[in-house]
Amino acid sequence: MLTAKQHELLHFIQQKLDESGISPSFEEMKEALGLKSKSGIHRLISALEERGFLRRLPNRARALEVIRLPEGAKSAMHDHRDNVTPLRKAPPALKPIAANDIVEVPLHGRIAAGVPIEAFEDHNQLAIPAALLGAGDHYALEVSGDSMIEAGILDGDYALIQKADTAREGDIVVALVDGQDATLKYFRREGRMIRLDPANSSYEPQRYEAERVMVQGRLSGLLRRYH
């Protein structure tokens, strides 16, 4: 049997999802239930998870999915029976990404480290808003240097990279040269050559035979921390 607070939280979450497709924040849940701290919300969510009413979406913070509701949902505050009715779900393609959704991606290291991307070990993760990413797999690299400052990419920024082995003219890519030197540059073709353009007038473009350059991803976003 669910407690009154568990019922109240479950239906509050479902109401927010029905209204906007966005799960409420812990602060919103705390205020809606009149609790003094967020720790009480964590305990309620864990209890609802254990009972199979709620699920946290994997690799995402504060993104919740209501799996089922107690039978007689409209009178749930007065009827705490354990009989349940499966919740019909909208097709995934119709559900917007929650504005408070957080995704963790591998943080491989600094882009000027001079080693192949595959050589980085995935011990570190970077938590970022899901809205910054598109489709596909992603990883993050910490930018080192000023060769892309005119594109708004500064030393210490985190470049969010969509994994890819091809690029279109003018894409900003992670390019691996001679299997060892990774760099973040604009991708251009010059006949049978590849030109990697910086975004800083103090630097010259780099030209290589096409077989020497391997695209390892395309820039999809940028994350900057202010200290």
Tell me the catalytic residues: 147, 185
Other Cβ atoms less than 10 A from the Cβ of 8: the count is 18
Residue type, 201: S
Here the tokens at position 162 are 């969509």
The Cα 182–Cα 120 span in angstroms is: 12
User: How many C-alpha atoms does 131 have within 13 Å on its Cβ side?
Assistant: 8
Alpha carbon separation from 123 to 72, 73, 108, 138, 169 (Å, rounded): 47, 44, 8, 15, 33
Residue 46's contacts (CB-CB under 8 Å, 6 or more residues apart) are none
